[in-house]
Amino acid sequence: MFSAGLKGVVYDLITHNMVDMIVSTGANIVDQDFFEALGFRHYVGDTMADDEVLREQRIDRIYDTYIDEDQLRICDMTIANIAADLPPRPHSSREFIQAMGAYLNVHAKNRHSVVLAAYEHQVPVFVPAFSDCSAGFGLVHHQWYSPEEHLSIDSVRDFRELTQCKLASPHTGLLMIGGGVPKNFAQDTVVAAELLGFETAMHKYAVQITVADERDGALSGSTLREAHSWGKVDIVMEQMVFAEATLAFPLLAGYAYGKGAWRDRAARQLSNLFRPILSPKVPTTVS
């Protein structure tokens, strides 16, 4: 999982064989990464700006960041076009994001993209709440105008495929930036595997970088020791890091890179666990 402003670090980790799988929010993968890979940008904004004026000028504000509404609509329709050219059946978010990577492989205007790098290096990317982002608008458009035969996103298939990745790995660990749905899905693969009758180990280590507080009982701030009570995370190597992610994560990634273990590490390419999508057509760009 990663937060806004950290995609460059995640891109470097993928291209240097330092990450095997990503579980993320749709905002990170679609509204930020895919959007910028299409050639669009985010702009420095002002939290004190007049939001009514921004609305009139078709500028969307994300705290202190601006995004062009018309460019976002192009991103939505690109998603709709990708959906229209895939088989009309339930897909996992991983399958669909792989198709997004195939699209960017041909049409990317900015190739410094997590989605594209994951596609090229066979790193599966899961977004458990895939419709909760710009992709949701594109998929609604796709289903509305293709009522008889359309694609859908199967969140249960996501969970099953995540569990397959866990079962294919003798040892697993989690590095979590933030929390929420991606955090829970990644941790729950241990419980799912056991429910299916497999003897599998808890995640060997877990590190979470967060500013969330555990006192309100929400998942984002829940401690990793709490996850141990569910049999998800081994408490021998667990660490909660209460810090601002754009400061802590680059330091951690830089340290891991400097250790150099990635140089001799075999690529896992976990996307190869799954049947490839059936030769999707790559739609043309949307203007």
Asked whether residue 47 is domain-assigned, the answer is no
Amino acid 180: pLDDT:
79
Phi, psi of 209 (to 5 degrees): -105, 120
Amino acid 240: pLDDT:
72
Asked whether residue 59 is domain-assigned, the answer is no
Asked whether residue 53 is domain-assigned, the answer is no
pLDDT, tens digit (0-9, with 9 covering 90-100), for 96-107 = 999 999 999 999
Q: How far apart are CA 253 and CA 263, in angstroms?
A: 15
pLDDT, tens digit (0-9, with 9 covering 90-100), for 208-264 = 888 867 656 555 656 655 656 655 666 656 677 788 889 999 999 999 999 999 999
DSSP 122: T
Q: Which residues, other chains included, contact 228 with Cβ-Cβ below 8 Å and sequence gap of 6+?
A: 202, 234, 235, 238
Least confident residue range of 18-27, 142-151, 211-220:
211-220
Q: How far apart are CA 152 and CA 41, in angstroms?
A: 28
Asked whether residue 287 is domain-assigned, the answer is no
Asked whether residue 32 is domain-assigned, the answer is yes
Question: By the 8 A CB rule, do 84 and 142 touch?
Answer: yes
Task: Give the residue, 67 or 199, on which the prediction is more confident.
Answer: 67
Strand ranges in the chain using DSSP code E only, listed in sequence order? 22-23, 42-44, 59-62, 65-68, 90-91, 125-126, 152-153, 173-177, 205-210, 238-242
For 185, half-sphere exposure in the C-beta direction (CA atoms, 13 angstrom radius) is 25
Asked whether residue 281 is domain-assigned, the answer is no
Q: How far apart are CA 86 and CA 280, in angstroms?
A: 6
CATH of the domain at 27: 3.40.910.10
Asked whether residue 179 is domain-assigned, the answer is yes
Asked if pLDDT for residue 279 goes beyond 90, the answer is no
Residues with catalytic function: 232
Amino acid 228: pLDDT:
60
Question: By the 8 A CB rule, do 109 and 287 touch?
Answer: no
Domain count, the chain: 1
Q: Which residues, other chains included, contact 251 with Cβ-Cβ below 8 Å and sequence gap of 6+?
A: none
Average confidence score pLDDT of the chain: 87
155-167 and 93-107 helices cross at what angle (nearest 10)?
90
pLDDT, tens digit (0-9, with 9 covering 90-100), for 164-223 = 999 998 888 899 898 778 888 888 888 888 888 887 778 888 888 888 676 565 556 566
Amino acid 277: pLDDT:
47
Task: Give the residue, 286 or 66, on which the prediction is more confident.
Answer: 66
Asked if pLDDT for residue 280 goes beyond 60, the answer is no
pLDDT band at residue 5 under the 50/70/90 scheme: low
Q: Which residues, other chains included, contact 156 with Cβ-Cβ below 8 Å and sequence gap of 6+?
A: none
Of 201, 222, 182, 235, which is closest to residue 10 (Cα–Cα)? 182
Asked whether residue 124 is domain-assigned, the answer is yes
pLDDT band at residue 278 under the 50/70/90 scheme: very low
Domain assignment of residue 196, given as a range: 7-42+66-269
- For range 37-45, the mean pLDDT: 95
pLDDT band at residue 89 under the 50/70/90 scheme: very high
- For range 12-20, the mean pLDDT: 95
